[in-house]
Amino acid sequence: MAIKLAIATPKRKPRLFDKYLPHLSIAAIYAILLLGAVMVFFPFAWTISTSLKTEQQTLEYPPTWVPDPVQWENYPDALTARPFGRYYVNTTIITVLSVVGQVVSSAVVAYGFARFRFPGRGVLFLIVLSTLMIPFHILIIPRFILFKYLGWLDTFLPLIVPNFFGGAFSIFLLRQYFLTIPLDLDEAAKMDGASSFQIFLRIILPLARPALGAVAVFEFMSTWNDFFGPLIYLSSDRNYTISIGLAAFRNDYFTAWHLYMAAAAVALLVPLVVFFLAQKYFISGVALTGSGGSKG
């Protein structure tokens, strides 16, 4: 074994290049990262730039980057054009409750799939996963009719309550993560007299924080940005969300880009803060669900 290794890696002559190689590779990595950062930052910078232009400047061809004069008043103009404060509150209520609902219900279901043996478990899990494959569009009208009969139209309920019934994607993600937690821990707790629910609360959930965080962040982003749900279910101005409010600056013939971007920049603040705070979870979420998929 040792001999083989020695043969496989013959000592080569040190070259001048070797001294700089680590530096060069770091430089290359930074260059690639920088390029990526610029690409990601570009639309954001464009949003800010456009939000400070006059209406005429937004049309300029070729487009210019630096607004002249800087139109700070676009921000108050945009935010008072519609009751954005109200929209912000509405969006926050819907998002927070949706995240809570999604995380709590999915965790419970995932725990069941990960830790209990019961007849039909495989089939049930398959059914849960197969709901991911139902095209969203064919559900629009049946769901709308359902919520109409419940008297929930033009309330936040159709946007929040379904989240309390779990989501296939979150359940899958959490179940896979729970499976990686050693059963020994459960058994040790059981020896000490813990019930299944206690094991769930005291052992599984604290250990699954990265996965729970990832689910919460995904849910946050999708609910905060959701346009279609609020469009269909909400109809009074007082119930609108930010995404619907933003659409007021846009119609088929004309978009007031400067105001649209100003309002969008403000709407971006919360997701941006959430992203920075929850960055760790977000990235672990990508690692959990990404193409690598080595966990679970």
Partner 1 sequence: MIYSRKALWTAVLVIVLLALSLGATAQEATTIKWFMRWDQNRVENVAMPVAEAFTEATGINIEFENIGSGSDYYTKLQTTVAGGTPPDVFYPATHVANAYASKGALLTINEFVERDGIDLSVYDPTILANYQIDGELHCLPIDHAALVVYYNKEIFDAAGVAYPEDGWTWDDFLDTAQALTLDTDGDGVTDQFGVDTFRNYWPMVVWSNTDRGLFDDIRHPTEFYGMDQGVIDSVQFVADLILEHNVMPSDEQRADISDLFAAGKAGMQVVGHWRMQRYLGSGFDFDMAALPLGESGEAVNRADGSCFAISADTEHPEEAWELVKYLAGPGSTGVNMLLDLQVMTPALSEFKSDPRFLDPELLPGSNKEAFLAGAGNYFSMYDPIHPMYSAFDSLWKQELGEVWIGAATAEEAMQRIADEVAYILENIQDYE
DSSP secondary structure letter of residue 204: I
100 binds partner 1 (CB under 8 A): yes
Interface residues for partner 1 in 248-277 (CB under 8 A)?
Answer: 248-256
3-state secondary structure of 176: helix
Q: How far is the CB of 216 from partner 1 (least distance, A)?
A: 7
141 binds partner 1 (CB under 8 A): yes
Angle at the Cα of 290 (from 287 to 293), degrees rounded to 5? 80
Question: Using an 8 Å Cβ cutoff, are 265 and 47 in contact?
Answer: yes
Q: How far is the CB of 147 from partner 1 (least distance, A)?
A: 9
43 binds partner 1 (CB under 8 A): no
Q: Which is nearer to partner 1, 104 or 185 (CB)?
A: 104
Q: What six digits make up the tokens of 224? A: 């905060």
Q: Which is nearer to partner 1, 259 or 288 (CB)?
A: 259
Name, in order, each residue with C-beta under 8 angstroms of 68's C-beta and a sequence gap of 6 or more: 57
Q: How far apart are CA 230 and CA 228, in angstroms?
A: 6
Candidate list 247, 283, 286, 287; residue touching partner 1; CB under 8 A? 247
In the chain, the amino acid numbered 104 is V
Interface residues for partner 1 in 207-226 (CB under 8 A)?
Answer: 212, 216
Q: Which is nearer to partner 1, 119 or 151 (CB)?
A: 151
103 binds partner 1 (CB under 8 A): yes
Q: What six digits make up the tokens of 20? A: 């700089």
Q: Which is nearer to partner 1, 104 or 283 (CB)?
A: 104
Looking at the DSSP assignment, which residues form a beta bridge with residue 250?
255
DSSP string, 123-159: HHHHHHHHGGGS-HHHHHHHHHHHHHHTT-TTSSHHH
Interface with partner 1 (CB under 8 A): 55-56, 59-63, 81, 97, 100-101, 103-104, 107, 140-141, 144-145, 148, 151-157, 160-161, 164, 201, 205, 212, 216, 227-228, 231-232, 235-237, 239, 244, 247-256
